[in-house]
Chains A and B, each alone.
Chain A
């Protein structure tokens, strides 16, 4: 059973700030990783705070996320340092982080996960445009549903906007203006909420209806995108058309929170084509498009991470050629994950499907 508390302030951002600064000022954690605006940009960046006074710019509920911050979270929690960390993350970031824990890229030891109920993020330029037009985009976004239509395509199909596995969840759906609901998701979270001394609250009754409506809307859109994408890539020829403008810049890989390799195999000489092979192929076919490994790159990446794709959409956001990479990846990922009955980020104890082959010997013919 969750414990609830409510914080009301002059704005939601102030309400969040009021609570999160206490984590440090009351010595409950040593540092907090949370998205914050800097004097240099309105775009909130993952920022590590060790001092409550420095936290003025934090804005975790802003509808912007230039990174899937699981990567940054993994950097600060790469190994246990003896310090207690609070990581303030979106649901897709938590899911990715859990996958990274399974891959030994970071640890949740001494980490408090504070999840954000995420109504979506905008592409960076969209967010900056709104920021230039009106000061507090966060406040506008949370109450203005028309602004909520400006979130990314991938966010619009996200059904997992409520974070699982967080010790504390911050949410605004169904809440009165300028109020944030804090709910515990674990014993650690419950203890922290008590120590923070926030005023206890009831879960607002209207939350359920609002959540359900949003869920339905998202699910419908997701179904639509999957169907549309699946049709668009159902032949290798169509797929080639879709990625015809790919520049092999590997931005998608760089932005992907679960593409964790220190150095990608596509940067090694494994796929480097030999000149004599290229010439032979050109002779045989008349021509060869270079580089040759474009589709190989995307398909290999799918074979590596489709089971772990958390659907954050960052790959699409960073593509300079506007290829709907996330549409492709989430569509394929859903099929792969269904085959393995695997949900990335569902449980830190759930083994990665490829590494789970305990099935009894003598069992089963192939197919």
Chain B
């Protein structure tokens, strides 16, 4: 390896026409550099980036046997690639190259010509001192498994699955509930167009079920994720349904006959009951019930029952089912774990839980839904139709005591409620808001429309909801107290019903999913995107993408668009079929590694794993981004970034100060 042992460095000083040359005495720089150790040749030339300039380097490499090249010209951000290619053309590894920036950092910013020349000499000497330590580097290619895992079967996950499957890739969709559909399946109408959620949702659910490219795992969870971009090894835990999916015809007889009828319905937000064997809602996909083991007389209470077994004609009930584990290899993962509504129980002033006529927005969605507990009739607990309803915005959102962010959807759904209330009940509706946020296509128009429909808007945060009334005739009603910041008056409005427009927070369990995937979460618990503006669906972990509310609150159009974006990213990765690893990434010398895991703690990309057998840290080249956090954390320099080694950086420092 004579090339490595005896560095022969060629140095080229560019005039850059009139950009460097008159300010920097390029000939003087070349003369001075020529005297440095290991410099075989130092030349200056008008335009190094031109063809003749590049040819000069290529010829010198061939004829003078150069094995290192330094070009002093513009910023490496401009022409590093150009010169690396020239070096490569001459048969040298492109990483035997270093650039000194004597234009942007010298000639363009230095007034005095002599000082500029001295600074240029110093920077070129630094590049020479660095290139001495350069090493040949290679990139590597890894093939990609052409399948996608989608976590979460709400509208985001469904859309991401459909788009990916439509591109011809194998998709595995995992949903922890018995049915896909997510929150959107609970809605009656959607803003601002007021289309019926079920009408646009159910066909999509069926599409997902019937798509030949989608394998659906409901009542299942992601159990383990290993591997990296292109080839993730995923283990899915299928919880026992106690109903054989292959045998069940979805006739529903078991649910009618089940004697345990007083289980609180999660889907109806606790406003109705379900049986122990159940599907969450009639249009569930798949239309196969699950047995809630906690409430089933056989499974939960060890009693003799077996009514469902007796009535099931296809013998689909199987009390012996155990959790099943399925292992899959996928090239990309799309996370669509969504949100949950903020629970307002802790916010004493709103009286939720104390006053029966205070509802959360999701409860109201169910109350208003044709498939809900009242079959869509908006009535109070006493069966009467409310005459005046207050809708309280920003419950838990834009509140430093709870979530400081705006949940983005509440203004719009609150106004949707107002419209539906006016339409269905004719009730007087009062909206208590801080600001109306309606930035979307046809959103502002919708706001205008509900104003025209006679909905009252009070600008002010509600201070209290109480059952103390000012006027005896209002006995039994609630009083909403707020300060109208427009009129600077305190308003006290007696109402029959209150809807709390609760904000959104990350879904329960997203912390665990984040941990499994290695995807970090922000201070509010939403998953971190790779870049807020330029990479909003990618995550810091290559090959893992975000769809929908798991990244932050979103309405349905934005969720669907982002899901398609996430699917697009996944498809791009799968279509290319290979992942090329970067050359400038970390390496850990196992002979020097003490196994302290400081590098693992420092790595933001989960790109380092611990080899328990050898007790050393090992870099996953496919995940490493080359940031060097591990290198700085490693006291023995066992970890280091290729092309930014201690010797290279300190070689540069030393040459500058020598």
Contact = CB atoms under 8 A, between A and B. Distances in A.
A276 B7 CA distance: 13
A205 interface: no
Contact of B636 (A265, A355, A361): A265
A265 B593 CA distance: 11
Interface stretch (B84-92, B240-248, B595-603): B595-603
Given A104-B595, A277-B654, A265 B637 contact: yes
Contacts of B647: 269-270
A60 B635 CA distance: 33
Nearest to B612: A79
Given A269-B647, A354-B633, A260 B596 contact: yes
Contacts of B37: 276, 280
Given A276-B37, A355-B598, A355-B601, A281 B633 contact: no
Given A265-B635, A269-B647, A103 B598 contact: yes
Interface string B103-135: 000000000000000000000000000000000
B596 A268 contact: no
A50 interface: no
B658 A284 contact: yes
A267 to B, nearest CB: 9
A104 to B, nearest CB: 5
B594 A355 contact: no
Interface string A237-274: 00000000000000000000000111111001110000
Contact of B602 (A264, A305, A355, A360): A355
B646 interface: yes
Contacts of B598: 103, 352, 354-355
Interface string B352-392: 00000000000000000000000000000000000000000
Contacts of A104: 595-597
Contacts, number: 59
A223 interface: no
Nearest to A272: B647
A280 B592 contact: no
Interface in A302-326: 304-305
A263 B595 CA distance: 12
B658 A263 contact: no
B594 A260 contact: yes
B79 to A, nearest CB: 29
B591 interface: yes
B633 A262 contact: no
Interface in A81-125: 103-105
A104 B611 CA distance: 13
A263 B636 contact: yes
Contact of B596 (A103, A276, A277): A103
A97 to B, nearest CB: 14
A304 B638 CA distance: 14
A263 B658 CA distance: 29
B592 A263 contact: yes
B523 interface: yes
A71 B440 CA distance: 64
Contacts of A361: 522-523
Given A104-B595, A105-B596, A262-B594, A280 B637 contact: no
Interface in B611-658: 633, 635-637, 646-647, 650, 654, 658
Nearest to B590: A262
Contacts of B522: 361
A355 B658 CA distance: 34
A281 B601 CA distance: 40
Contacts of A354: 598, 633
Contacts of A276: 37-38
Contacts of B591: 262-263
B636 A264 contact: yes
Interface string A325-367: 0000000000000000000000000011011000011000000
A96 to B, nearest CB: 14
Nearest to A354: B633
A354 B602 CA distance: 9
A313 B487 CA distance: 73
B594 A270 contact: no
Contacts of B594: 103, 105, 260-262
- Residue from A263, A264, A351 having most chain B Cβ neighbours under 10 A: A263
B134 to A, nearest CB: 15
B637 A262 contact: no
A277 B658 contact: yes
B594 to A, nearest CB: 4
A261 B592 CA distance: 8
Contacts of B646: 265, 270
B33 to A, nearest CB: 14
A100 to B, nearest CB: 9
Contacts of B658: 277, 280-281, 284
Contact of A268 (B523, B592, B593, B650): B592
B551 to A, nearest CB: 15
Interface in A52-83: none
Contacts of A268: 592, 636-637
A349 to B, nearest CB: 14
A219 B427 CA distance: 76
Interface string A270-310: 10000011001100100000000000000000001100000
Nearest to A279: B37
A280 B38 CA distance: 13
B602 to A, nearest CB: 6
Contact of A355 (B523, B633, B637): B633
Contact of B635 (A277, A284, A304): A304
Contacts of A281: 658
Nearest to B610: A104
B605 to A, nearest CB: 15
A360 B595 contact: no
Interface centre among B597, B633, B637 (most CB of A within 10 A): B637
A356 B596 CA distance: 15
A143 B647 CA distance: 56
Contacts of A260: 594, 596
B592 A262 contact: yes
B637 A270 contact: yes
B10 to A, nearest CB: 18
Contacts of A264: 636
Contacts of A355: 598, 601-602, 633
A262 B635 contact: no
Contacts of A284: 658
A261 B597 contact: no
Contacts of A263: 591-592, 636
Nearest to B654: A277
B552 to A, nearest CB: 14
Contacts of B636: 261-265, 268
Residue of B596, B598, B658 ringed by the most chain A CB atoms within 10 A: B596
Nearest to A304: B635
A146 B298 CA distance: 79
A361 B531 CA distance: 13
A251 B523 CA distance: 46
Nearest to A280: B658
A101 B292 CA distance: 44
B511 to A, nearest CB: 14
A355 B593 CA distance: 17
Given A261-B635, A284-B658, A355-B601, 14 more contacts: A103-B594, A103-B596, A103-B598, A104-B596, A105-B595, A260-B596, A263-B592, A263-B636, A265-B636, A268-B637, A269-B647, A270-B647, A354-B633, A355-B633
For the complex of A and B, 10 pairs with smallest distance between CB atoms: A261-B636, A103-B596, A276-B37, A304-B635, A355-B601, A262-B594, A265-B637, A270-B646, A104-B597, A263-B592
30 contacts: A103-B596, A103-B598, A104-B595, A104-B596, A105-B596, A260-B594, A260-B596, A261-B592, A261-B635, A262-B594, A262-B636, A263-B591, A265-B636, A265-B637, A268-B636, A269-B647, A270-B637, A270-B646, A270-B647, A270-B650, A276-B38, A277-B654, A305-B635, A352-B598, A352-B601, A354-B598, A354-B633, A355-B598, A361-B522, A361-B523
